[in-house]
Amino acid sequence: MKKILEEKFNLTADSKIVVVGEGITGTSVAKFLETLAFPFLIVDSRKASFTFETFKGATHLIVSPGVSLAEPTIADALKNGAKLVSDIDLFAAIVTAPIVAITGANGKSTVTTMLGDMARTCGKNVGVGGNLGKPALDLLDPAAELYVLELSSFQLERSHVLNAAAATVLNISADHLDRHDDLDNYAQAKQVIFSGDGVMVLNADDERVLAMHDALRKTFTFSIKKPADFYLADNKLMHGEDVLMPLSELPLEGKHNAANALAALALGTAVSLDSALCVKALKNFKALNHRMQKVSTKNSMNWVNDSKATNIGACIAALEGYDEKVILVAGGEGKGQDMNELTPVIQAKAKAVILIGKDAPLIENALNTLPEIIPTYHANDMQEVVAIAAHVGRAGDTVLLSPACASLDQYKNYQDRGNQFALAIEALLV
């Protein structure tokens, strides 16, 4: 293993390796390097400010996804010859089992989990993780027959040797523009997932994703709007002329989850999983916490927790998944997104909007440009959100927490935000 790392990255006992960040990824990398007896230094700006002296003479930098490569000390070290290596690079260089790699602005956790379930239903020893759950290096197992990795744009932008057996970019929409500057840079980071020569799985409904097509590569497409290799027709999931399953048997809220299911089926086919067993896994699939998760039917209303919708694209996808109009709960830390992109779908799909958090005024300003007035309310916390929703809603209405924003302005993370929503519903007096 050490020989492979020396050949791929020139990592030796004489290397000066700096691991940046002591979070989940950094800790995983440190444990891996310790196992192989590589000397390294680990630093974290939350404990002490980065200094140019710390990075002086560094031969290799392994920078956690949460740390920007534009950090001056890091940028300076890279400029002075330090080699950028990611935990995904280390993982991809040494595993022998095939890797399926999954990214996108939205849906990647769902598709990753779906495909992991499919592989297990097919009897495969599969490792599932990456940006979701366990870090890649913690998944290493000589008995593994397949690895399924969710990868973020931050992981991909610092990875150079990934060659997945199958890979997908599910969709591209504005996210993390505070780090990537613009949508083109964000899409370019996502496209790294197609490095190598594996099967490409492309969303035929997303022009930016379709533009990534390589005519020399085997490709599967998926669509919920038109015929493709895997597509939705007459409320059935199809592969060519074959009906795979009725949409009604997919136990998830929203039509966008039909797209996620089709993507997972395409990836499964790409790595030769049994189609019938993959469909069986889908029929038994449980929604992820905080992702289009129905948490209650209190007051004869449907309360749906989509707190993981931390960008506009995710909120749009959630709203478009409903045929009827919903009561939308949105707001938080906007991350520099243009809230005007939300207005057409809110006009079409929301009967009322309840706004929370720091950038609620930005969403309200965007809504004020609409020709049709949509009732809009402000809430300071989830108790107030739920009280307002219960007051304006009627039996049969859906209340959708799909914030389109990050959560850190008010909550520990999106999980905490979703949990507070569920607790407030539970405390609601009928």
**Average pLDDT of the residues of the chain:** 94
Which two three-digit tokens encode residue 196? 């190598």
**pLDDT the model gives residue 62:** 97
What is the Cα–Cα distance from 367 to 27, expressed in whole angstroms? 44
Burial call 334-363: b when 16+ CB within 10 Å, e when fewer: bbebebebbbebbeebbbbbbbbbebbebb
The model's confidence at residue 175, banded by pLDDT at 50, 70 and 90, is low
Q: Nearest to residue 289, comparing CAs of 25, 102, 113, 103?
A: 113
- Count of beta carbons in the 10 Å neighbourhood of residue 47: 8
Q: Nearest to residue 394, comparing CAs of 352, 349, 346?
A: 352
Q: Nearest to residue 113, comparing CAs of 137, 99, 129, 98?
A: 129
pLDDT greater at residue 166 or residue 286: 166
The model's confidence at residue 180, banded by pLDDT at 50, 70 and 90, is very low
Q: Are 170 and 107 in contact (CB under 8 A)?
A: yes
**pLDDT the model gives residue 256:** 86
**pLDDT the model gives residue 181:** 59
Q: Are 213 and 203 in contact (CB under 8 A)?
A: no
The model's confidence at residue 71, banded by pLDDT at 50, 70 and 90, is very high
Q: Which of 196-210, 278-292, 390-404 has the lowest mean pLDDT?
A: 278-292
What is the Cα–Cα distance from 197 to 299, expressed in whole angstroms? 53
The model's confidence at residue 192, banded by pLDDT at 50, 70 and 90, is very high
Which two three-digit tokens encode residue 405? 């924003």
Section 165-192 average pLDDT: 80
Burial call 163-172: b when 16+ CB within 10 Å, e when fewer: ebbbbbbbbb
242-292 pLDDT per residue, tens: 999 999 999 887 888 999 999 999 999 999 999 999 999 999 998 888 988
What is the Cα–Cα distance from 147 to 143, expressed in whole angstroms? 11
| pLDDT for 179 beyond 60 | no
The sign one gets for the Cα dihedral 322, 324, 325, 329 is negative
| pLDDT for 177 beyond 60 | no
**pLDDT the model gives residue 4:** 95
| pLDDT for 196 beyond 90 | yes
Section 309-318 average pLDDT: 92
**pLDDT the model gives residue 429:** 76
Domains along the chain with CATH numbers: 2-85 (3.40.50.720), 89-283 (3.40.1190.10), 293-426 (3.90.190.20)
323-352 pLDDT per residue, tens: 899 999 999 999 889 999 999 999 999 999
Catalytic residues: 108, 131, 176
Coil/strand/helix, residue 401: strand
| pLDDT for 430 beyond 70 | no
98-139 pLDDT per residue, tens: 999 999 988 899 999 999 999 999 999 999 999 988 999 999
In DSSP terms, 407 is beta-bridged to none
Q: Above pLDDT 90, what percent of the chain?
A: 85
Section 168-180 average pLDDT: 71
